[in-house]
Structure 1
Amino acid sequence: MSNEITIPSPADFHVHVRQGKMCELVTPQVAKGGVRTAYVMPNLVPPLTSTEAVLSYKAELERIDPSVQWLMTLYLHPDVTPEEIRKAAKAGISGVKSYPRGVTTNSNSGIEDYGVYYPVFKAMEEEGMVLNLHGEVPSDPEKNISILNAEVHFLTHLRKLALDFPKLRIVLEHATTSSAIETVSSLSSNVGCSITAHHLYLTIDEVAPQPHHFCKPLAKEPKDRKALQEAILSGNPKFFLGSDSAPHPLASKIPNLTHSEIGAAVSACAAGVYTSPILIPLVATLLESFGALDKLQGFVSDNGRNFYGVPVKEGDELRMRRITDEDKGIVRNTFKSEEIEGLEVVPFWLGKRLNWEIV
């Protein structure tokens, strides 16, 4: 078994780098985790619904770390018209992200009806932009819809959009279920699917006792995790890395008790798993654990780049070597702001050992 791997220009086709001081803290970690190209999510406050806002955000990311190729997205919203799509495409914006209302972080401006956006999707199809779908529907007790089955209920929307827009590139983001893998596999080549690193490891049993494992979409059953792993093992080019690395302050991940005149209330745990600082070594470690290390280049570089039409930069390679010292490779560091007390982010895999490191 090889002790060294060289990968052409790894890409993460779904990453959150937030805004303000959090952005300053986490943005440099994208490159440190081995990523050369990053596809950035637009769910800021306020959401990025105009070309000007997206370009301003991109300039900020390039100021913080010009070594990464930052690919940008708009947030699907009534302000995003067909005219705005054509303007964004001309400015080099890559895609549009759709969030159903209220299903995840900063999604209160999300959509409720895909039909009203058909003129927008048509313009995207004509301009070659990508539609990125957060693949869940809102919970609805009357219909027995919860975070456990929200992705499965969404798949009817995916099938209809793929049928109605056969030339529109559509990505089902961060798949978590065997049903999602089966559906994407059955659809035409214009439909792709991102898979996170953490969903290749987690099941609901690992999420329940650990707030740092809580994310949306929620990790599901062992059979679902196995389906994600088998999608990568198959080498199917529809499946590629989208980490959904989502940093939150430690205080937002660990619910705390706040007191008021009328008693006490427990704050909610924020949804998100943070993997950027260790991403490509983590993916290599996970793929090796289920016999898919030979699929690493396809999963973290070739498949996503081919789907998005983003070529590798010549000479822009990542070298990794196997960690043979048992005392090395343990993830130990949290990430703290030097300027803001209490701004601390805990990475995934803390206390566990990676089998690979970046040279």
Structure 2
Amino acid sequence: MPLDRFNNLELPAAADLHVHLRDGPMMKLVVPTIRKGGVDTVFVMPNLVPPITTVSAALEYKQRLQQLDHSVNYLMSLYLHPDVTPATIIEAKKAGITGVKSYPAGVTTNSASGVVDYEAFYPVFAEMERQDMVLNLHGEAPSVPGSDVTVLNAEERFLPTLLVLHQRFPDLRIILEHCTTAKAVSMVSQCGPTVAATITAHHLHLTVDDVVGDSFNFCKPVAKTPGDRSALLQAAISGNPKFFFGTDSAPHPAVAKRGGSTGQSKAAAGIFTQPFAVPLVLDALEKAIVKGEIKEDDVTEANLRGFLSDFGRAFYKVPEGGRIMLQRGEAKIADVFADGELEVVPFRRGEATWGIKWIH
């Protein structure tokens, strides 16, 4: 079978540089699954309700996370909002906060307080550049009345904004989060070394056809065409340090994914991959090899290690953590994760996958 040579391969633990850990009961359910997926470093999204817009709120959130699992390195972020000023950035840097996440208004879960005008935040971006903090961009243009922006072209329409920000702030570290299109891969590749992109596990599996009719495959940004998926797969195994792992694991109660208790609401956008983060990447690469989308010889140990761990850690300037061993055929994806009445359905539920053994 493809990738048999990786059975019992020892690697650095993965760095998952885009995660949603929520708060309250959901946080208590999902945080213990981080290490199950072969991950020990995470960049935590700030789109709680209310959003994390102050340094004190970010530090309090980190403390709640550490109480659940202190062995994980939590990289914290602020939500880009009018309350975030250059003075906030200076305070955040001193407190060890890693980055600031930008959500265009209304494009995804808990983004109602998101950005309408990026130029209004130029003083904040300038201070982030001086303080060497990371700007994390949810790269979709919002659909507004009179526009023809849809879930299928929202990322492409956002790319000029990425280019403008990079040109205006060339030393600002910028990440185009969860990129989904060949055009996004091309744009990031053409930018300077301060621009990078995260790629999720589920976007290495899905196309838009997989989303239609299956709310558990629905996320923002949505999966695109087979050609776009192929571009993501190629980027993930390219050895290009601009592209690294970020699951965008986004748990929702199963009832919310099904349209609420009556089934009449819109399905929540988000896919839960945290407990099987690294195995899902291996599964996607194996499937792509079988389909002829990528060559097995291109999936090298060095490129896999780079995508899962080395490249992201270097960009974020965080050290290597523990070590894991990959084990073929040692796991099955659970049908559901539950705590009392709270149930969360994981991506590719019920399917066989790779196992993870922690070395240290």
TM exceeding 0.5: yes
RMSD: 1.4
| Corresponding residue for residue 262 of structure 1 | none
1:321 aligns with 2:319: no
Letter in 1 for 2:333: V
- Output aligned runs, 1:324-343, within 5 Å: 329-338=331-340, 341=341, 343=342
Aligned match for 1:186, one of 151, 173, 190: 190
Aligned to 1:143, the other structure's residue is in SS state coil
Are residues 2 and 11 of structure 1, via their aligned partners in 2, closer, same or farther at CA, if it must alter by over 3 Å? closer
> Is the aligned partner of 1:164 residue 2:162?
no
Task: Tell me if structure 1 keeps the 8 A contact 2:237–2:304.
Answer: no
Amino acid at match of 2:348: W
Distance (whole Å) between structure 2 residues aligned to residue 84 and residue 118 of structure 1: 14
Contact residue 282 and residue 354 of structure 1 kept, 8 A:
yes
Q: Does 1:345 align with 2:338?
A: no
Contact 1:255/1:268 (CA < 8 Å) preserved in 2? yes
User: How many Å separate the matches in 2 of 1:355 and 1:32?
Assistant: 11
In the TM superposition, residue 293 of structure 1 has moved relative to its aligned partner by: 5.3
Greater CA drift, 278-287 or 242-251: 278-287
Any idea what SS the aligned residue of 2:135 has? strand
The C-alpha deviation readout for 1:278-305, integer Å capped at 9, x for no partner, is 1112212222333325322111100100
For 1:123, what is the secondary structure of its paired residue?
helix
Q: 1:273 aligns with which of 271, 274, 278?
A: 271
The equivalences for 1:90-129 within 5 A come to 90-129=94-133
Q: Indicate the residue corresponding to 1:285 in structure 2.
A: 283
Say which SS state the counterpart of residue 108 (structure 1) adopts.
coil
Within 5 A, what are the aligned runs for 1:197-216?
A: 197-216=201-220
Deviation at 1:194, TM superposition (A): 0.2
Does residue 140 of structure 2 align to residue 136 of structure 1?
yes
Report the alpha carbon displacement of residue 68 of structure 1 after superposing the two structures with TM.
Answer: 0.2
Q: Does 1:15 align with 2:19?
A: yes
Instruction: Report the identity percentage.
Output: 51
- Shift of the alpha carbon at 1:240? 0.3
* Counterpart residue number, 1:306: 314
Deviation string for 1:62-114 (max 9, x for gaps)? Answer: 00110100000000000000000000000000000000000000000001000
Do residues 296 (structure 1) and 295 (structure 2) align? no
Deviation at 1:42, TM superposition (A): 0.1
Which ranges in structure 2 are unaligned for 5 or more consecutive residues? 289-295
2:68: which partner in 1?
A: 64
C-alpha separation between the residues in 1 aligned to 2:52 and 2:93?
A: 15
* Aligned partners of 2:38 and 2:356 also within 8 Å: no
- Structure 1 unaligned spans of 5+: 259-264
State whether residues 5 and 320 of structure 1, in contact with CA within 8 Å, keep that contact through their aligned partners in structure 2.
Answer: yes
Measure, in 1, the Cα distance between the counterparts of 2:97 and 2:323.
Answer: 25
Q: Distance in 1 between matches of 2:7 and 2:331?
A: 14
> Cα offset for 1:356?
4.0
Aligned-pair CA distance for 1:270 = 0.1
Mapped contact 2:255–2:261 kept (Cα < 8 A): no
Contact 1:40 1:70 in 2 (8 A): yes
Instruction: State which drifts further: 347-356 or 268-277.
Output: 347-356
Give the paired residue count. 344
Q: Which digits, 9 at most, give the CA deviation of each residue in 1:11-49, with x for residues without a partner?
A: 000000001111111111111211110100000000000
Indicate the residue corresponding to 2:291 in structure 1. Answer: none
CA distance, structure 1, for counterparts of residue 159 and residue 311 of structure 2? 22
Structure 1 residues 135-169: Cα deviation after superposition (integer angstroms, max 9, x where no partner) = 00111352211111000000000000000101000
Greater displacement, 50-59 / 233-242: 233-242
Residues 1:50 and 2:48 aligned together: no
Q: Which moved more, 1:27-36 or 1:82-91?
A: 27-36
Aligned mates of 2:250, 2:264 — CA distance in 1? 22
Counterpart CA distance in 2 for 1:245 and 1:3 is 25
Question: How far apart, in 1, do the equivalents of 2:126 and 2:152 lie?
Answer: 32
| 1:126 counterpart SS class | helix
The equivalent of 1:261 in structure 2 is none
* Distance (Å, rounded) in 2 between the aligned partners of 1:164 and 1:317: 39
With structure 1 as the length reference, what TM-score do the two structures score? 0.93
